[in-house]
Amino acid sequence: MNKTDLIDAMAEHAGITKAAAKKALECALIEIEGALQKGNRVSLVGFGSWSVSKRAAREGRNPQTGETIKIKAKNIVKFKAGAD
């Protein structure tokens, strides 16, 4: 299922227009993204939760040359599916 399929399904199940479903989905995604950027955890009971985790700096290798490179530390988003 892609974003368009999800919008179509939301519109059908909720009895709203596709435009309204698209706006609702985009607003939800914007709010989830905003919370994660602030470092907060987002949890939807029965679905799953998103959280931000820090990945430490590390060394890697360029596969073409074999040269050692430094990979910077960064924050990543993790998703854990709910029990249902």
Whole-angstrom CA distances from 48 to 23, 43, 45, 59, 60 are: 22, 6, 6, 32, 32
Long-range (24+ apart) CB contacts under 8 A made by 33-40 are 36/77
CATH number for the domain harbouring residue 46: 4.10.520.10
Give the tens place of pLDDT for each residue, 18-34. 999 999 999 999 999 99
Clarify whether residues 55 and 28 are in a common domain: no
pTM attached to this predicted model: 0.74
Please give the Cα distance from 84 to 2 (Å, whole number): 21
Give residue 22's pLDDT.
Answer: 95
Clarify whether residues 78 and 55 are in a common domain: yes
Number of domains in the chain: 2
Range of the domain at 48: 41-83
Clarify whether residues 62 and 27 are in a common domain: no
Clarify whether residues 4 and 26 are in a common domain: yes
Clarify whether residues 34 and 52 are in a common domain: no
